[in-house]
Structures are given as structure tokens and as C-alpha cells.
């Protein structure tokens, strides 16, 4: 138990060091504030909002900001502040699982391709290149046309769309790690390929993939919102920012707030996660500071 407790303490100290390192720059501090607000909205949405996000009040439709409705109401009289906060929960419930699934798929494919090499590598590379030949939104639209619109399908489609980028990064990292002396030493001791991959290769290539995931979260949110705006994503009346944008766009002539509120929420979330991903990259690998990561978009 003492060893386990010490391991937990070391992990906590390491996490705090990363947070301090990211917060040491204005860009990193701003990203932590914005992402922190989004995560608070996700975790505490029912406690920080005064209304049910689906509750309609036709008598209060299209009102501007007031003491009763802080950011106004939409065409059905629903409170915009409440729907924007719950919208963060909807978007993160798509973007984060999609990122984790894409990371897992890409890690598996990239690690196998890079470590095994040969014909297996060539086949997997051709498969990934074929998928990346299509723009992300076009591929997502095509897959959703087959699967049908739902939150689960949007999550899976975005994950499949992003997986090739993770696979390519994992494969490139494996090429470097597999030539290290400790890998050769492990093989000489009789370790099998599975043991080498799981115990030595994967732990040394996972960090860049999480950085890529942080950078790709705002892309996933944007794609999810865009699909919902087109009626192919999270279906109404769920408070997706894309659904809110579509509702606000239809009534922009009456009041701009139903359009502005989700647009600003989407912009700030995208900015926060983009800055966080770049700050993490610069902190964990200073050699890459000032460069731009390659994302699937």
C-alpha cells in the first residue's frame, strides 16, 4: 500500500508540474481558464443554470438579456444561458470520447505498422492514406449518411475520421523507439513482440498522441456543431451548439442573441483547447515551440 500511495503522490506531483508549466505563459494561462470554464459547465451544468434546457415558454420567446434570462431566449422561449451551458456538456460528450477512441485505434494501427513493418506496414499505410485523402467533413458526411444522425454515430464517425492522424504519428514514433538500445536488450532476453510493445514502446509514444488529442478536440467540436447545424448531428431538441446556431440563424432578423450565444461559446471553446494543446506541446517538447502541429481538419 505504501508503494501504491507513493506512486499516486508522484503522479499528482507530475500533473501539478505540468499545470504550472503550462500556466507559466499567458497563452497557457488563458487556455487553462477557458478550458476550466468549459469543464465546470460540463460537470456542474444542472447546478449553475436556472432553467431546464428543454423547457419552453412561448410567451417569453426571442427576448433579449434580462434579469430573468441572462442571455435572452430562443424562438421557443428557452433560456439561452442554460442551453449554452448544457451545450458544452453535449459537445464534450462527443469530442472527448471521439478523441479517446481515435487515439486507441490510431495507437493500435500505428504501433503494429511501425513495429512489425514489411507488408503489414505497407497495407496499413495505404489504408490510412486512403482515408486521409478525403477532407474530414466530407468523410464525416458520407459516413453519417450511411449510419444516420445520432450522438453516438457522430462520436464514432469523428473518431474514425481522426484515427489516421494518430496512426501516422504513432507509426513515426515507433520507428524511433524500436531502434533504442533498451529495446534490443529486451529482445535479447527473450521478450516477445507483445511484451515489448506494451511495456516499452507504447509508454514512450503515448504523450504526443494525447497532445494531438488536445489539439483535435476543438476540431471535433466544430465538426460536431457543423453536422448538427446541417441536421446530421445531435438531433433537436438537445442543446447542441449546432442546433442552437441553426435555430438562431432562422430568426436572426428578430434578435441576434440566439445566434451570438452559441457562436461565442463555440469560439471560446475552440480557442481554449487549441491554446491548451499548443501550450502542452511547447512545455513537454520545447524543441517544437513555435511550430504548428498537424491535425486532421
Mean pLDDT computed over 140-150:
84
Q: Is residue 45 part of a domain?
A: no
pLDDT category of residue 232 using cuts at 50, 70 and 90: confident
pLDDT category of residue 246 using cuts at 50, 70 and 90: very high
Q: At a CB cut-off of 8 Å and minimum separation 6, what does 141 contact?
A: 227, 230, 232
Q: Is residue 154 part of a domain?
A: yes
How high is the mean pLDDT of the chain?
A: 85
Q: Is residue 207 part of a domain?
A: yes
**Tally of CB atoms within 10 A around 227:** 24
Q: Is residue 11 part of a domain?
A: no
Res 8: pLDDT: 34
Statement: residue 157 has pLDDT above 70 = yes
Q: Is residue 74 part of a domain?
A: no
Q: Is residue 111 part of a domain?
A: yes
Q: Which three cell numbers stand for residue 91?
A: 459537445
Q: Which CATH number characterizes residue 132's domain?
A: 1.10.3720.10
Percentage helix, strand, coil for the chain under 3-state DSSP, each rounded to 5? 75, 0, 25
With 0-12 / 13-18 / 19 or more C-beta atoms within 10 angstroms meaning exposed / middle / buried, residue 186 is: middle
Statement: residue 254 has pLDDT above 60 = yes
Mean pLDDT computed over 24-44:
92
Q: Is residue 240 part of a domain?
A: yes
Question: What is the b/e burial string over 51-62, where b = at least 16 CB atoms within 10 angstroms of the residue's CB?
Answer: bebeeeeeebbb
pLDDT digits (tens, 9 = 90+) for 86-135: 999 999 999 999 999 999 999 999 998 888 888 888 898 898 888 888 88
Q: Which three cell numbers stand for residue 294?
A: 498537424
Q: Is residue 78 part of a domain?
A: no
Res 285: pLDDT: 65
Cβ–Cβ < 8 Å for 189, 243:
no
Report how many domains make up the chain. 1
Q: Give the structural domain span for 255.
A: 92-266
- Candidates 229, 249, 233; CA nearest to 98 is 233
Res 14: pLDDT: 57
Res 287: pLDDT: 47
Amino acid at each position: 500500500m505504501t508503494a501504491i500511495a507513493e506512486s499516486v503522490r508522484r503522479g499528482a506531483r507530475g500533473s501539478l508540474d505540468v499545470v504550472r508549466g503550462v500556466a507559466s505563459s499567458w497563452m497557457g494561462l488563458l487556455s487553462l481558464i477557458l478550458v476550466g470554464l468549459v469543464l465546470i459547465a460540463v460537470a456542474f451544468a444542472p447546478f449553475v443554470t436556472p432553467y431546464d434546457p428543454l423547457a419552453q415558454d412561448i410567451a417569453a420567446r426571442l427576448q433579449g438579456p434580462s434579469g430573468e434570462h441572462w442571455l435572452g431566449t430562443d424562438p421557443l422561449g428557452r433560456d439561452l444561458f442554460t442551453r449554452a451551458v448544457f451545450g458544452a456538456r453535449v459537445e464534450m460528450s462527443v469530442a472527448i470520447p471521439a478523441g479517446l477512441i481515435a487515439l486507441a485505434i490510431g495507437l493500435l494501427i500505428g504501433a503494429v505498422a511501425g513495429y512489425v513493418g514489411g507488408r503489414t506496414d505497407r497495407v496499413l499505410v495505404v489504408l490510412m492514406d486512403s482515408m486521409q485523402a478525403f477532407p474530414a467533413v466530407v468523410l464525416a458526411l458520407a459516413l453519417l449518411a450511411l449510419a444516420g444522425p445520432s450522438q453516438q454515430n457522430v462520436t464514432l464517425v469523428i473518431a474514425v475520421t481522426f484515427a489516421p492522424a494518430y496512426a501516422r504519428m504513432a507509426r513515426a514514433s515507433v520507428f524511433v523507439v524500436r531502434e533504442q538500445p533498451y529495446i534490443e536488450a529486451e529482445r535479447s532476453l527473450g521478450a516477445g513482440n507483445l511484451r515489448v510493445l506494451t511495456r516499452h514502446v507504447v509508454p514512450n509514444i503515448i504523450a504526443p498522441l494525447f497532445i494531438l488529442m488536445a489539439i483535435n478536440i476543438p476540431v471535433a467540436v466544430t465538426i460536431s456543431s457543423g453536422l448538427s447545424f446541417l441536421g446530421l448531428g445531435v438531433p433537436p431538441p438537445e442543446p447542441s451548439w449546432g442546433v442552437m446556431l441553426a435555430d438562431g440563424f432562422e430568426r436572426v432578423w428578430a434578435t441576434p442573441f440566439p445566434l451570438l450565444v452559441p457562436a461565442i461559446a463555440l469560439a471560446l471553446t475552440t480557442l481554449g483547447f487549441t491554446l491548451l494543446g499548443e501550450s502542452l506541446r511547447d512545455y513537454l517538447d520545447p524543441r517544437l515551440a513555435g511550430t504548428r502541429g498537424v491535425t486532421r481538419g
